[in-house]
Every structure is written in structure tokens, then in C-alpha cells.
Amino acid sequence: MNKQEFDRLLEKYADVVVKVGLNLRSDQSLSIRGIIEDAPFIRKVAESAYKAGARYVDVLWDDENIKRIRLQYADPETLTSLPEWLLHRYEEYYKRGDAELAFHSLNPDLYNGIDSDRIAITRKTLSQKIGEPLRKYSNHSNWCVVSTATPAWAKKVFPDLPVEEAQEKLWEAIFSACRINTPDPVQAWKEHIQKLDKYKDYLNHKKYTSLRYKAPGTDLTIGLPEDHVWGGAQESFTNGITGTVNLPTEEVFTLPHKDRVDGIVTATLPLNNQGVLMEEFSIRFENGRAVNSSAKKGETDLRKLIETDENAGRLGEVALVPNSSPISQSGILFYNTLFDENASSHLALGNAYKTSMQGGADMTDDEFTSRGGNKSLIHVDFMIGSAEMDIDGIKQDGSREPVMRKGEWAFNV
């Protein structure tokens, strides 16, 4: 595409982020987290945000190569260090009810060759010092996660193309997945959200006690807490704003019961977790806990991820995505969970969202876990869906109903 057309699509993308993803209010400030390669699009978002009446747009820049350099050369004892101002910065925005936009565009091979112990230390430190303290604010403010076609990521997705061509092709895929190339992207998103709401409402009405998954390499039963709530597309925050937290999104999701997951599940797509790639892996669960895991690539990293804390080896999310989703049908392996999770039904290791349980947002951690919710430092999605997956919903009387057949919805809404 020519530069003029690209700039037009980039502006439409920025407007979707501000109007659909964040649903930014005119009196809000906006905190943005991104790497320096995201800069051209971040400037477009800032422009759109100020046009929408934003009070202030503040960008916290990062450099993924500096992250790798630190892991290579820093004294291991310093890897648990983070500046105190970083936490205070986040708290300031959350306490004030301002908006946050995060970019997820990292190089999938960023940490190739880096010692897995160093990676595990930094991952746990971020979760403890930034992630965990701020979970209490996660429903206070409108937030959204998006991506840009950075050079390293584009080259991973399209390795046979020169970098510039790979970036253009990845941008085209992002625009398509986020409905930017439609005549009216904002209206297209409204219609898509209404469609996802119908599936969410159907599942909430059913109140299944568990889900049974069957596919090659997968035979898994996931119990659901009595008061589970299916969500999808949009989330409402205590600051009074409703937004779409992931762009793109094709899922409906809820939380599993932390003690009622049994069987084996095999991933159908690679998992890129903070620059570490894990491929062709399986996990076996007993009474909710991962008791065994194996992987063709990244097995040690997978094991360390599961061992992050005492509950990292339990599940915190179950999400359903039809195989016919536009991202799946694109045939592109993105090596980016934000996109790949919307091509495939998936699960998440670790923390469960309190908003996935009736009244959960007002519960203490002890109350939440006593009802079946999981609390952990991590929340890592991995993809398990395919055109060969069948899912049954099990009712209170033990009878079963088809929820998905061959990767597609088995009911009409």
C-alpha cells in the first residue's frame, strides 16, 4: 500500500483504539506503555486521544534490546531490582481512574539463548512488584492492549520476506483482524460486540457445571465454579466506562474451578511468553494442579513458568473461540498471544479474574479462592483449539450438551 493509504488506515486504527478499545472520556489522562518501535502509531493514538479531549497523554518508553542486554550481563542478584517510582506511576493513574494503553509487539525470539533461570527471576519480579500490587486496580480504570507491526516480529511471522515487505504484510493482517479495512471500523466493532454478547448470554443462561474437551492429544474435564460468569468483547470498570480490553478479540471466557481440572491438554499453537517461545507442549492436570508437562521446545521454560508460585500450575481462564474466526482463517501464525488466542480456544495458567465470578470484584482473596477462583502472580494464555476439537457442556444432572463440534459453535444464537 502507498504511504497515503497506510497513514489513513493508521489513523482509523488509532480512532478504534481510542473510541472502541479505551472508550476514552474527555476528562481522562492516558498512560501508554510501548517499545520505541511502536512510536509512529503511538503518536497517532496520542493525536486521536487529544482530539477526543484527553487531559494528558504520557508514554512510558521501553527498548526490548535493553531488556535482553540486562539479562545477558547484569549481576544475577540485581535482577530483582525495580525502581519504586515505576509502581507509583501506575498507582497514580489507576487511583485517579485514568486510562491505560499497553502495546504487545515484542520480538518472539528476544530471549533466545538466555539462561532460563534469569528469565524466570525477572518474570517473577515483574509479577510481584508491578503485576500483583496493581491487580487490585485492574477493574478501576479502562485499559486496552494492542500491537504494531514491529520489524523483528514481522520478520518472525514472514521469515522469507525482506523486513519492509514483512512489516507491510503484518500491518495488513493487523488491520484485517482489527476490522480497520472496513468502511466504518467503529460500527463494525459495535456489530461484532453484539454478536459476542449473544454467545456469552447463551452460556450464562446454561450454567454448566463443567466442560469436557476432546481432541488429538487432549482429553480434559474442567469444572466451573457455581457462580461463574461468562464475559467477552467488553468489560465495565468502576470508573463508569465500558471498553474493549483486547484488540482484536474473538473470545468468550470465564474462570475454571481451581481444584476441578483433570486430564491432559495439548497446545495447538506455539506460546510466546515475554520473548520466550514454547512449542508442541502438553500439560497433565490432577485435581486442578499441573502434575506433568513436556515440550518439544522450551520445556525448561514451561516448567519454570508453572513453578512461578504455588498456584501458577492451576488454571485461571477458559476461553472459547470458533475455528472459523477471521484470525484463524487467515492462516497466519502470529507468535503473539494477543492474536493467536483469538484464532483458537485457549486456557490460561495462573491468576483468575475476579470479575468472572458473581460478586467476585467485592471479595477478598480468601473468599475468592474458597469459591474456586485461583490467585497467582502469572496469567499466561496458551492455545488448545483446532478444527478437530469437540467440547461438551455438562449440566447439574450430569447430562451433556454439545458446545463446540469440530472447532465450531454447536448451537445457534
**Bridging pattern class, strands 400-405 and 218-223:** unpaired
Which residue in 397, 247, 405, 262 sits closest to 320, CA to CA?
405
Give the per-residue pLDDT at 259.
98
Give the per-residue pLDDT at 273.
83
- The model's confidence at residue 180, banded by pLDDT at 50, 70 and 90, is very high
* CA angle in degrees (0–180, nearest 5) for 366-367-370: 85
Global pTM value: 0.90
Mean pLDDT of all residues in 353-382 = 94
Does pLDDT of 22 surpass 90? Answer: yes
Q: What crossing angle do the helices spanning 299-306 and 116-126 adopt, rounded to 10°? A: 30
Q: Residue 89 burial (CB < 10 Å; 0-12/13-18/19+)?
A: middle
Write the pLDDT tens digit of every residue in 3-13: 899 999 999 99
Give the per-residue pLDDT at 36.
94
Write the pLDDT tens digit of every residue in 182-230: 999 999 999 999 999 999 999 999 999 999 999 999 999 999 999 999 9
Does pLDDT of 318 surpass 90? Answer: yes
Within 10 angstroms of residue 140's Cβ, the number of other Cβ atoms is 18
Give the per-residue pLDDT at 210.
98
**How far, in Å, CA of 318 to CA of 344, rounded?**
11
Q: Which residues on adjacent β-strands are paired with residue 35?
A: 62
Lowest-pLDDT range of 109-118, 133-142, 204-213:
133-142
| Domains in the chain: ranges and CATH | 3-177 (3.40.1830.10), 196-231+250-407 (no CATH)
Helices (H) and strands (E) in the chain, counts: 13, 20
**How far, in Å, CA of 217 to CA of 345, rounded?**
15
Give the per-residue pLDDT at 135.
67
Does pLDDT of 133 surpass 80? Answer: no
